[in-house]
Amino acid sequence: MERKFDTTDIINVEELRKQALMKPSVTPTITLLVNEMLGKAITVNVAMELTIGRSPECDISLDITALSRKHCVVFRKGKNVFVRDLDSTNGTFVNGERIQVRALKNGDRVFLGDICVFKFAYTDQIDLDINRMLFDKATRDPLTGIYNRTYFQENFRKEFLFHLRTALPLSLVFFDLDDFKQVNDQYGHTCGDMVLKDVVYVVKTKIREIDFFSRYGGEEMIIVMKNTGYSAAIQKTEVLRKALADHKFEYGATSLVVTASFGVVTLWNENFNSAQEMLTAVDSMMYQAKQEGKNRVVGFEPDK
């Protein structure tokens, strides 16, 4: 049975690497070296094309002003992997040489403009597992497995700018568990951790894969609902509220009732000037839900 890499088994990495070398299996991979993507490894599969640029529509979207909206594309043809410039303003360079199209060799570093964006390598499974582990450690909350606050902030800023530019609605749902301190005080932090993980499980069953779900801090969580108008966001959030209120949170022989207060705001018709302004507004709506009695959804409807 093939042994999988375990994040708690770091001391055995070299042993696993030796096993992998005995049965070599390498995969063409690009490892990103910038921003919140630092360390993210992406396998270049057959018939795959990866566009890289500033546009959120790119497969790899990077918020770097020196990049063109669609700067370059990485693709595989046969056993070889190529990078092709897409008539970018600042050019695509491989190991310092400006190129139009180039087959990549193991260890090549690719610069977009003057920024080293990724390294190409033929990578074994152990290295891929290590890279994924490090990326997850940097971007995900260790308790719940959803994205952490830092990664949320980077992602939300991009989504805000994209939806603002394309005039598509973007909704933000911010919620806080009601009286969660009492759970920790009465039953202990182990119970509190169990509740948080259960909350994440319930929410994930009710949202779309494209919705960006993050732990914002403590018992606060936030959801970015892409291309979702205010009315739809309110309806979806009410479904979440009811699902949590109806869920049986069981800890040993104890059954707990856990509710949450939700705030909802929507970007529409340029009603927010910045991502931070939208965050401040949704925090205010969530606080209002607390003030009005908890276990409810409060939203701010944009002008039509």
Residues with a catalytic annotation lie at 219
Q: Which stretches of the chain are assigned E, i.e. beta strand? A: 26-32, 41-43, 49-53, 60-61, 72-77, 80-85, 92-94, 97-99, 101-103, 109-112, 115-124, 170-177, 212-217, 220-225, 249-251, 254-256, 260-267, 297-300
On whether the CB atoms of residues 139 and 132 are closer than 8 A, the answer is no
Write the CB contacts of 161 (distance below 8 Å, at least 6 apart in sequence). Answer: 56, 63, 275
d(CA 164, CA 160): 6
Q: Which of these, 205, 199, 225, lies nearest to 144 by C-alpha position?
A: 199
On whether the CB atoms of residues 71 and 92 are closer than 8 A, the answer is yes
